A and B are shown apart, each in its own frame.
Chain A
Amino acid sequence: MQRSSSTIWMVAQREFLDQFRDWRIVVPMFVLVTLFPFIADDTTRQAVNFMNRFGGDLILDHLIPFVVLVIGFFPLSFTLVVALESFVGEKERGTIEPLLSSPIEDTHMYLGKLLVGIATPLVFSYASIVIYLILVSHRNVQFPSPYMLALIFLLTFAHAVLMVSSAIIISVQATSIRAANLLASFVVVPVAFLLQGETVLIFWGNEDVLWYAIVGVTLLAILLVRLGLSHFRREYLLGREIDTINFRWIGRTFRDRFRGQAGSIVEWYRTELPITLRQLRQPLMIVIALGVIAGIVSYMWVVTNVPTYIDLTPERVDQFKTFIADNLTNLDSLGERLPAPVLFYHNARTTVAFLLLGLVSFGTLGLTLFIGNIALVGGVLGAAHLVGYSPLLAFVAGILPHGIFELTAIFLATAATLRVAAKLVTPQTDKSLGETLLLSLADWFRIFVGIVLPFLAVAAVIEIYLTPVLIKLAFPYL
């Protein structure tokens, strides 16, 4: 452990030395970091004057925490160059090979560079915030509470880890500094969006909601560090000189993985698909567990909390029942208003959204969307209970017939998405990041094409033509 930390520090120390001896890095950083708080302070003063004249207490009360958050982010974005350069810069200068030829372990080398990548922007970021806070303490504005400041410092730290870990992944994968700098947009722009979301939390929520952002960003940052460590390979740094996209190889690899050894569709269903299904056992168990918990928690929450939010008098319940009865009469023409192919398209699109969101967030957003969907089902059953209908009957008649197919498809699609994410953050000794992603996507499409699409098609037909009939049979008194 001591040897590990000293090796990491040794790598970091050299980087620090190299960095701070280069005035072309130090001077602009120093100037920007010290200049920006003054600009921000002046902007704050103007904004405060403006709001004092025309009103806007809500904005005024939260203005300083918001500016602190922005000031924290600003140095992170331009000091990112240190992390972006960490590997590809050394590669371009030819200094990486002696280092890679040495017995330093991959993890130590990676973490050493990560440490420098995080520490430098963070120091500049905190310095910028402190300068701003000193300036703002002399103004007649509401100073943020120490608790709020602590949260923002934590959030800035999480931003730094998130951005730097992404930048280092780019630095490992890119073949030139120019490419790495171009790819940096894919770090700065999403984090800028994230910052906007956090701003919303600051303005409309209370201080505690920032914890959600801190936990979310930290989780993502940890997964990115894990992804970087998993796919950091010396060979990858030296094996390529220029970026080439080999479409033929991509197509062949994807096709070979998707088709497997099967010679016909029947054989594919009989031999290949079960292999992928077996690989999904673990993620499927996680997804089922999360689904069941989401459904139950949502049901319980609706049953327990909704009556306190809305005054559920017998008259109100009758109003709900009338509303439901009116809507159920409309079920007769459901097929005309919502044709089965449209419903099928909608559901298929949702499962693709699980994958896309899952890909950009290591499965977390895909899972969130899935949990939201299942929670909706639990909530509907809870509402049924509240208005006096049997939730079990509502489930058996209204959800189960098409749900057997639809829920199975959604559970499998989510499990497959989770597996893609898990594969990305799992060390692969013999495959590159691109190859791992390609093979995982081929597995995902096996499930999508082989099971999800047919199941969703059957579910759509049942939901439009059979479920309404069963609901009317189950609830004839409506």
Chain B
Amino acid sequence: MIETNDLSKQFNNDFWAVDGVTLNVQPGKILALLGQNGAGKTTTVRMLTALLRPTRGWARVAGYDVTQKPQEIRANVGVLTEQHGLYMRMTGDEYLEFFGKVYGLDPHARKTRSDYLLQYFGLAEASGRRCGEYSKGMKQKLALARALMHDPSVLLLDEPTSAMDPESSRLVRDEIARLRSSQRTIIICTHNLAEAEALADSIAIIYRGKILLNGTLDELKRVVLGPVEYEAKFARDFDAGDLDLPQGVTLAARNSDSLRFRVEAPQAVNPTLVHALASRNAPLVSFQEVPRRLEQVYLKTMADAQGVAYAA
């Protein structure tokens, strides 16, 4: 579990890299931390791994306070850093063996775990080669294997699929999803919004060190983009005239062969709305929710934060 309250970090006594971050990630959940480069994602992760000492606020990771029990946190957290951080003159085998020792695994556990991870990430054949000879994707996979070597209860992943080919990315995403089901607490820092959308249970958007938004994807969509929109498509041109809309529904857009409605409580209102259309003999072909992507949420949030107009 990860809990933070007013977590803040100041550098050079004048620059707040992270300012008042409050998060709560339960076991078995994944939080995606989104933000521009320099927004404070890496600094937040570094505080959560007890690498940086918070200037203000507190954080508890895997049940330990980051300032009081840094060693315990490091022993229970797996970190995939922004750079893969491999020793280029070591072989894949040696690398995992070294980190197995670092995390205090006995020789048998080291061998078993290392063999499993190399096999799982498709690196078994390359395990005797030096890391410097690996492709970018292989390096990233080996780095992820290192983060998982000691089977940590908390995972902090900074750009886990960057530089990976689509197949490898898929493999890593599947692995992350599988790790969630094993009750691990996971934070992913990423610029890949599709990945965040696919994996995260909750999303936090950070800008200049401050959390602008934090919640589930649906909550974020509602807060940023407003109520859900539904589109009714007609078989031919249809003049709806003055439709008597149920309470909590507003007309968002009108075209000759479609209408778009903004609906506050779809479950309660949609049947009435569809009935109203049918009673006007509307040649209804489909009635469905207008898809809204995380990208829209993110870009609108960023545009609002920077005070510029959001081009949908």
Contact = CB atoms under 8 A, between A and B. Distances in A.
Interface in A228-253: 234-235, 238-240, 244, 246, 249
Nearest to B11: A239
Interface in B60-77: 71-72, 74-75, 77
A14 B98 contact: yes
A249 B14 contact: yes
Contacts of A104: 102
Give the residue among B72, B87, B104 with the most A Cβ atoms within 10 A.
Answer: B87
Interface stretch (B44-52, B110-118, B170-178, B196-204): B44-52
B102 A97 contact: no
A93 B82 CA distance: 12
Contacts of B83: 94, 97
Interface stretch (A17-25, A79-87, A213-221, A411-419): A17-25
B214 to A, nearest CB: 25
A105 B14 CA distance: 30
Nearest to B101: A10
A102 B102 contact: yes
A17 B89 contact: yes
Nearest to B98: A14
A94 B85 contact: yes
Contacts, number: 76
Interface string A247-290: 00100000000000000000000000000000000000000000
A304 interface: no
> What interface size band does chain A fall in?
20 to 34
A95 B79 contact: no
Contact of B12 (A14, A18, A94, A246): A246
A96 interface: yes
A102 to B, nearest CB: 5
A101 B49 contact: yes
Given A103-B103, A246-B12, A249-B12, A21 B51 contact: no
A235 B89 contact: no
Interface in B1-45: 11-14
Contacts of A365: none
A10 B90 contact: no
A18 B89 contact: yes
A97 B51 contact: yes
A98 interface: yes
Given A98-B85, A235-B52, A17 B102 contact: no
A343 interface: no
B11 A10 contact: no
Contacts of B49: 101
Given A104-B102, A246-B12, A22 B71 contact: no
Given A102-B74, A235-B53, A95 B85 contact: yes
B79 A98 contact: yes
Contact of B71 (A10, A93, A105): A105
A100 interface: yes
B84 to A, nearest CB: 7
A98 B79 CA distance: 7
Contacts of B86: 95
> What interface size band does chain B fall in?
20 to 34
Given A101-B51, A246-B13, A18 B102 contact: no
Nearest to A18: B89
A95 B143 CA distance: 11
Given A94-B81, A105-B71, A238 B51 contact: yes
B102 A10 contact: yes
B168 to A, nearest CB: 20
B79 A17 contact: no
Contacts of B101: 10
Interface string A4-26: 00000010001001100110000
A14 B77 CA distance: 22
A238 B102 contact: no
Contacts of B121: none
B234 interface: no
Given A246-B12, A249-B13, A97 B74 contact: no
A341 to B, nearest CB: 40
B71 A103 contact: yes
Contacts of A99: 85, 102
A101 B81 contact: yes
B184 interface: no
B134 interface: no
A97 B14 contact: no
Nearest to B147: A98
B99 A239 contact: no
Contacts of B143: 98
Contact of B87 (A10, A14, A234, A238): A14
B99 A102 contact: yes
B146 interface: yes
B51 A100 contact: yes
A265 B13 CA distance: 28
A357 to B, nearest CB: 31
A18 B81 CA distance: 21
B46 A238 contact: yes
Nearest to B89: A21
B81 A97 contact: yes
Nearest to A22: B89
Contacts of A103: 71-72, 74-75, 102-104
B14 A238 contact: no
A328 to B, nearest CB: 59
A244 B14 CA distance: 13
A21 B83 CA distance: 22
Given A235-B52, A238-B46, 20 more contacts: A10-B98, A14-B90, A14-B98, A18-B90, A93-B88, A94-B82, A94-B83, A94-B84, A95-B86, A98-B85, A99-B85, A99-B102, A101-B49, A101-B81, A102-B99, A103-B71, A234-B51, A246-B12, A249-B12, A249-B14
The 10 nearest A-B residue pairs measured at CB: A94-B83, A103-B75, A21-B89, A98-B85, A103-B74, A101-B79, A97-B81, A102-B102, A95-B85, A101-B49
18 contacts: A14-B87, A14-B90, A17-B89, A18-B87, A97-B79, A97-B81, A98-B79, A98-B81, A98-B146, A102-B74, A102-B103, A103-B71, A105-B71, A238-B51, A239-B11, A244-B12, A246-B12, A249-B12
